[in-house]
Chain A
Amino acid sequence: MTQSSIYAPEFARLVDVRPLTELEKLFTIELPNGRSLGHDPGQFVMVSIPGVGEAPISITSSPSRSNGTFELCVRRVGDVTSALHRMEPGDYVGIRGPFGHGFPIEQMRGKDLLFAPGGLGLAPLRSLINQVLDERGSFGRVIILYGAKRPAELLFRDELEEWAARDDVEFHVTVDRGDETWDGHVGVITTLFPLITVDPRNTVAITCGPPIMYRFVIMEMLGKGIPETQIYLSLERRMKCGVGKCGHCQINDLYCCKDGPVFTYAQIKNVPEAL
């Protein structure tokens, strides 16, 4: 008797692999039979390579731009991601998911949106940003504050330029340390907040970045008067199952994979292990 297993991946074809920076590549992936992944912005998939391992990776493409494929922006940092970086178009990777709770886009309609991604934190937020831009009319202001360590670490530079050029997007970018190629803003991401004013009650703020960043960015958001229930963050944890069983991603009593990875600040502010 053959039964299905939530732990058995299905294999999907890499249709494009594009370097974004020294450490990050963008993988465009096609599921069998052109089936759509059917994800919400903010969800993730478990990506596996036979004999190597499996890792949770956020989906960076917008559901509004699926074309029968989806995109993962992956930093080369561990066993699985290093093996993935050695793969080429035509190769196959294991996919399980999409899993988790993403961003509640319906509750964001009509609202002003303040995105504050740091570094690789842009990857999950880009999914939502591009969906919002594709349905631009149903949202208020779109403000994007993006911070990276160095100019060479900025992701999706072509899209950043596009966002900067649009007059319906307020885009500010900063780097912690500049170089000779950089004539923009220098400073950590929090130094961008004084550049904007928001109507706090009508604003939803969204952030994702390295663990160290959340406290400071959330402090800025609260400082603008944005309510705790309107601040969304996406968290990273080790995951082995993606479905709330293996225990690795637990944040106190919450399962990052199942209860998150997107949480409101109100949900996690009293959860000591969250930030």
Chain B
Amino acid sequence: MSQGSHYYVPAPSTWPITGSVALLFMGFGAAFSVNKMPLGYGLLAFGFAVLIYMLFGWFGTVARESESGKFNQQVDKSFRWGMSWFIFSEVMFFAAFFGALYYMRIYSVPELGDLEHKSLWPDFTGDWPTAGPGITEKFMPMGPWGLPAINTVLLLTSGVTVTWAHWALKLNKRGQLKLGLFLTFALGFLFVGLQAYEYGHAYSDLNLKMSSGAYGATFFMLTGFHGFHVTLGSIMLFVIYCRVLKGHFTPENHFGFEGVAWYWHFVDVVWLGLFIFVYWLI
């Protein structure tokens, strides 16, 4: 509530309605394509292209507004509140899937193996990992100490490099800032690449699929959405890197950087939960 300063209210803009058109096409496109109807993928691709165009335009506008000094302390604080609650909503999104994982491991799978269900499925023991009593196709679970452990090291290291870059930004050491950011998104993309390789390994060597019952569903849902978030985070870091190359951000004023760093730490923490409960404790 700083007095005498100016709160920036942007002029009418076409970006939001562009985004709505994008999501309209993506909604219909997705519904059509999962039902194998004609036009589905076309609508989806068109909507996605419009969405990318909108994101470029909208974030570009915000970056320009920021660089021209239109945002004061109070606007900066708004961005901080906004980003914090956005990340909180993301935490709750993952909470739904972690909730499903715990529910299956604690309730539904052991219950299906208990005495009452012996008449239905006499051979099912209710141990984790499982594809459930009705799915006979065998699979192997993903072990924690191969790629997943390497991925853990990669992500934790990237958490260090992004903080290293932040220190550099605060001390106005632009060289270290660029190097730190470069390392961070490089580690991020490397993580995504290794995850993709791990998926290939799961499908071809372990016979582990989305349809592999409780284990397969939770494994792919959790690691899939996490990988999607790492991809987004890496792209965000790359955008920040490009802005740094263009000379954006000052030691005092760099919320764009900090917001992305917060997001990056969030995907990092989610990964730790995944590593422990999806990969390790099985």
Specify whether A and B are partners: no
Chain A residues in the interface with B (C-beta under 8 A): none
Chain B residues in the interface with A (C-beta under 8 A): none
